Homo-oligomer: A and B are copies of this chain.
Amino acid sequence: MDSLTPATSSQKEALLRRYGATGLSAMGPAMGPWNEVIATMLDHRSVRGYRPDPVPAGTLETMVAAAQSAATSSNMQWTTVIAVGDPAKKKALAEIAGNQKHIEQCPLYLCWVADMTRNGMISTEQKVEFETMPWLETFMVACIDVALAAQNAVVAAESLGLRTVYIGAMRNDPERVAKLLGLPRQSFVVFGLCVGYATAEGAGEVKPRLPQSIVVHHDAYDGDAKAAARKAYDGEMATFAARHEMQASTWTQRVLNRLGPIKSMNGRERMRAALAALGFEVR
C-alpha cells in the first residue's frame, strides 16, 4: 500500500471540511500520513436522495467481500446481509422507518442482520448446548461484528463513487421488520443501508465533527470540560445548519433535542421487549 499516491494538496481541504476552520487550526500545522483510501473515508457524507440508476453488476458481491474481510470476534461471523429488491417490502420498510423515501428510491437496500440463528443451528445439529448464547455480551459481539462488516461495505461502495446512508430506524419496530424479511428466531436487523448514486440535491456535503482535542485522550480519560472547544464546534455546526436549513442550530441544541425527550426514540425504548420476542434473552 506504500505505493499509493500521496494526496497532500487535498489533505488540508479534506480536514477543513471535516473539522471546520476552528477544528483544523487546533490540530496545528503538522499533517499526518495520507492517501486515496483515507481521502475516500474523509469524504463521507450520508445521502438521502438517490438516482434510479442501478449499481454496477457485482457491486453487492464486492461490498460483501469487503464486509466479510473485516475482523469478526473469534471468527464467529455473526453477519447476514439481506438485499431487499421487492418494491412492496421496501415500501413497508420505509414506512417503519418513518417514511424515509430514500429506502424506496435507492437501487440497493441492504438489511444487516445479527444472525445468531446460523451458529445456533450447529448446536442443534451437533446436540451440544451453547451456554454462551443468552448473554448480553454475546448479543453485543454480534451487533459489533455486524457494524464492522457494514462499515467496510460502506467504504467499498464510496470508493466506487456510490453513496450510502445507514437506517437505524429499522429498530423502530424490530418485530415487524423480522416478519417482513422472514427472520427466524435469534436473528435481528441491526440497521438498514441505502446504496446508490446521489442526486444533485441529495449529494450533500461533509458534516463537521467534534475537534480531536475533545475526542482523543492520552493514557487516561481527560474529564476537563473543554467547554471552549465545544463552543467552537457549536459555531461550526451553526454555520453548517444555516446552509442546510436544519432545525437545531448548534450541536449542543441538537444533543438536547435528541437525548432529552423520550419521544425522540420513536418507540425504541421497547428494545428489550422486542428482542425478547425475537428470541434474545440478553441476560
Q: B181–A254 contact, CB under 8 A?
A: no
Q: A82–B220 contact, CB under 8 A?
A: yes
Which residues of B lie under 8 Å from residue A160 when comparing CB positions? 1, 33, 35
For the complex, is A133 an interface residue (Cβ under 8 Å from B)? Answer: yes
Select one of B4, B221, B271 contacting A82, CB under 8 A: B221
A159, B216: Cα distance in complex, Å: 21
Which residues of B lie under 8 Å from residue A27 when comparing CB positions? 61
Which residues of B lie under 8 Å from residue A30 when comparing CB positions? 57-58
Size category, A interface: 35 or more
Q: B262–A272 contact, CB under 8 A?
A: no
State whether A41 and B58 are in contact (beta carbons under 8 Å apart), knowing that A128-B256, A132-B264 are contacts in the complex: no
Which residues of B lie under 8 Å from residue A161 when comparing CB positions? 1-2
List chain A positions with a Cβ less than 8 A from chain B. Answer: 1-2, 4, 15, 18-19, 27, 30-38, 40-44, 46, 56-62, 64-66, 68-77, 79-86, 89, 113, 117-119, 121-123, 126, 128-133, 135-138, 140-141, 143-144, 147-148, 150-152, 154-156, 158-161, 165-166, 168, 171, 181-184, 187, 190-191, 206-207, 209-210, 212, 214-221, 223, 225, 251-252, 254-256, 258-262, 264-265, 268-269, 271-272, 275, 282-283
Task: List 12 A-B residue pairs with CB atoms under 8 Å apart, sorted by A's residue number.
Answer: A32-B58, A32-B62, A35-B160, A69-B206, A80-B217, A82-B221, A85-B218, A126-B256, A132-B260, A135-B265, A138-B259, A152-B155
Contacts A64-B215, A85-B218, A137-B171 given; 10 further ones with Cβ under 8 A? A37-B156, A44-B69, A44-B71, A76-B258, A77-B209, A84-B219, A133-B259, A136-B275, A140-B140, A143-B143
